[in-house]
A = this chain, B = another copy of it.
Amino acid sequence: MARMTMIEAIRDAHTLAMEADDDVVVMGEDVGYFGGVFRCTAGLQKRFGVQRCFDTPISELGIVGTAVGMAAFGLKPVVEIQFADYMYPAYDQIVSEAARLRYRSAGEFTCPMVVRMPTGGGIFGAQTHSQSPEALFTHVAGLKTVVPSNPQDAKGLLLAAINDPDPVIFLEPKRLYNGPFDGHFDRPSQSWGKHPLGEVETGYYETPLGTANIVREGSAATLLAYGTMVHVALAAVEESGVDVEVIDLRTLLPLDLETIAESVSRTGRCIVLHEATLTSGYGAEVTALIQGECFYSLEAPVLRVAGWDTPYPHAQEWDYFPGPERVKRAIATVMEG
């Protein structure tokens, strides 16, 4: 075991994957010499050479488009989109190409590629450095979508994603890079230095895609979250004094519906959390699934706590961010229902 921030854990995963497999290559804007604006790829170019880790022109289309070609050749490209907010120019290549290549060629050509991107707010990044576009990926057949919430998972999930034979969208909550964040923006920042999940297994391991993690057992209600919202959920639950179960989804697609349904059937109440815009967000899908699976156990409607249906504002960051107060209110509401 070793102490790592999420950045270090991601870097470690890259290093191990590149050591294990010559076909793993890394590229993106500023990822080469400089090592990425968040330093997630620092040291890779020096260690593995410019042919395996290099800077690209500022063209998200080009990054993903060439990665699709590389993957079809037989490489395993791991590409970084500097912020999730900038993935749109690559969206066509992701949706129309990466996601459908195996299907339309009946397995003749495949696309084992990982597209990493920092997501979420909490750093005063405003509308172009704060978005959480996961629902735009979960709607697309052929993609897998992963969101880690801590260094231990980030490393294991990234290694599993790189090893996956299909394209994986790997969303990294940037507010968690250096420490857990429970939404109490007015308290001092935490670091991973003292958090139990900042203690990361050394060496190669995979955290299988498609398995959720019950991070707090409880019996009164089930709180479903991923990424930063896992920490918000935990804080809100402690503060609420209600015995709520908290599940970290980790992989949005494929979703570990079994674990979720088991929990909600047991507790009879459910809240889904995310930072992304409410309408047609991923919470809608989870809610629809749960009301289908657990209809006869539900004591109250499934509640969604999410970002408002507005762009992510700058000055009003903490009015936008679905923090512990909103979650606590939701817990109270769902317990009344």
Mark interface residues in A31-42 (1 if CB within 8 Å of B CB, else 0). 000000000000
Mark interface residues in A209-253 (1 if CB within 8 Å of B CB, else 0). 000000000000000000000000000000000000000000001
- Contact at A311–B104, with CB atoms within 8 Å? yes
Q: Is A300 an interface residue (CB 8 A)?
A: yes
Interface residues of A in 26-56 (CB under 8 A from B): none
Q: Is A280 an interface residue (CB 8 A)?
A: yes
Q: Is A301 an interface residue (CB 8 A)?
A: yes
Mark interface residues in A283-325 (1 if CB within 8 Å of B CB, else 0). 1110110011001001011111000011100000000000000
Mark interface residues in A78-103 (1 if CB within 8 Å of B CB, else 0). 00000001001101100110011001
- Contact at A277–B310, with CB atoms within 8 Å? no
- Contact at A103–B301, with CB atoms within 8 Å? no
Which of the segments A7-15, A111-119, A138-146, A165-173 contacts the partner chain? A138-146
Contacts of A285 in B (CB 8 A): 279-280, 284
Compute how far the CA of A85 lies from the CA of B292 in the bound complex, rounded to whole angstroms.
Answer: 30
Q: Do A103 and B310 form a contact, CB below 8 Å, given A287-B288, A288-B304?
A: yes
Q: Is A189 an interface residue (CB 8 A)?
A: no
Question: A100, A128, A135 — which one has the most chain B CB atoms within 10 A of its CB?
Answer: A135
Contacts of A301 in B (CB 8 A): 291-292, 295
Compute how far the CA of A310 lies from the CA of B141 in the bound complex, rounded to whole angstroms.
Answer: 5
Q: Is A259 an interface residue (CB 8 A)?
A: no
Question: A127, A280, A284 — which one has the most chain B CB atoms within 10 A of its CB?
Answer: A280
The listed residue (B88, B253, B276, B280) touching A284 by CB distance below 8 A is: B280
The listed residue (B89, B300, B311) touching A295 by CB distance below 8 A is: B300
Q: Is A136 an interface residue (CB 8 A)?
A: yes
Chain A interface, number of residues (Cβ within 8 angstroms): 45
Contacts of A303 in B (CB 8 A): 292
Which of chain B's residues has its CB closest to A309's CB? B141
Question: A283, A284, A287 — which one has the most chain B CB atoms within 10 A of its CB?
Answer: A284
A126 CB to closest chain B CB, in angstroms? Answer: 9
Q: Is A181 an interface residue (CB 8 A)?
A: no
Q: Is A177 an interface residue (CB 8 A)?
A: no
Mark interface residues in A140-180 (1 if CB within 8 Å of B CB, else 0). 11100000000000000000000000000000000000000
Compute how far the CA of A277 lies from the CA of B280 in the bound complex, rounded to whole angstroms.
Answer: 13
A174 CB to closest chain B CB, in angstroms? Answer: 18
Q: Which residues in A have some Cβ–Cβ distance to B below 8 Å?
A: 85, 88-89, 91-92, 95-96, 99-100, 103-104, 127-128, 135-136, 138-142, 253, 276-277, 279-285, 287-288, 291-292, 295, 298, 300-304, 309-311, 337
Write 25 A-B pairs (CB below 8 A) sorted by A numbering. A88-B95, A88-B96, A91-B91, A96-B128, A104-B311, A135-B139, A136-B136, A136-B139, A138-B280, A139-B279, A140-B277, A141-B277, A280-B280, A280-B284, A283-B288, A284-B284, A284-B287, A284-B288, A287-B292, A288-B288, A288-B302, A288-B304, A292-B301, A292-B303, A295-B337
